[in-house]
Structure 1
Amino acid sequence: MITLPEFLDGTTPHCTPATAHLFDSTHPDDEQQATAICTGCPLRPGCAQHALTTPEERGTWGGLTARQRRRIRNPDDTAWVDDEGRLRVACGTYRALQAHLRYGETCGPCRAAQAARTEHARRASLAAEHAAGGTVNGAAIHRRLGEPTCVHCRAAVARQSAVQRAARRMAQHPELAMAS
């Protein structure tokens, strides 16, 4: 069980005996509820600072879980706590973009880095489609990348269209299917 420091003497409406179990739990749902309770608390920055300097090894403190606090204390990690007591990581990473979105923020470097990661993944997928000789999926990836479809992928689309047209003709004229 967590022992509360003096500044959390029970006078804050956010930390109550009814919710105390949430702050000591390691279950993700409980941690999420505890973090949500911390969001509106005026003591959040001080509470997070206490947990980082003490160091508290268990529970949610100032909106930070034990795992998040370990990341902050890790000298090889770029995580830090901002002035509002929220966990931050270096911009340009996927985790930073997720944090910006969660906090209702926009960040040009994070969006640009995500666009670059997405393009890299699409180009890797496109290379696999080309290794297969060009495919319909490859044509769709070309479109997502905003580039003209290559000859091989265009041919795959044409083949698929021809097969679909033939199937529709046969469905409309069943006597043609029997004649074959």
Structure 2
Amino acid sequence: MPARSFEGNDGAAAGVPSHPFFGPNRLSPIGGATRSSPATGGLVIRGGILILARPQLATTIRRGGGNMLDRLPDLVNGNAALVRRGRHLSTTFLVEVGPQAWLVHVRDGRIAGVEQGPFRMASWSFALRGTAEGWAKFWQPVPPPYYQDLFGLLRQNELRFEGDLLPLWANMLYVKGVMGMLRGSRGAS
């Protein structure tokens, strides 16, 4: 049996119809996405506040995340399902939003406290280091594509995981839930 090529003249698989989102002249989910500029939906700084330029997605946060993470104990500890999910986690992790840093202290799934940096020699088990723009999109009430999840931020090079990743991976659903609690109006100061 002769070898059969699945490549057509245009580089698409032979006999496969063009997909409306991933076809030619469309953004590819693997690599072809471009970052938006302030004119096309990026962030604009006005009076020390980061503002999304598109009014239909208008979400404001203080530069560097402001006091959003300070509300984390109330938001997480009031959610019994989330506390139960993290009941085996007792650690301290670092969250960076642009230049600002916070240490989040977790004891048996409850947020014991949040400290705002800067820190000289802080002790933490793992870190979530992200750009202010990436976190702002993640914390919108309805995030844009690729920003609904921590893995989307990671894929867009807007977030890095650092440190001892074992407690992070073992409790990933809990950490996603904790960071998602700041989404929309719940995290507004």
- TM-score range with shorter-chain normalisation? under 0.3
Q: Say which structure is richer in helix.
A: 1
TM norm structure 2: 0.22
Q: Say which structure is richer in strand.
A: 2
| Higher relative contact order, structure no. (Cα contacts within 8 Å, ≥ 6 residues apart) | 2
TM norm structure 1: 0.23
Larger radius of gyration: 1
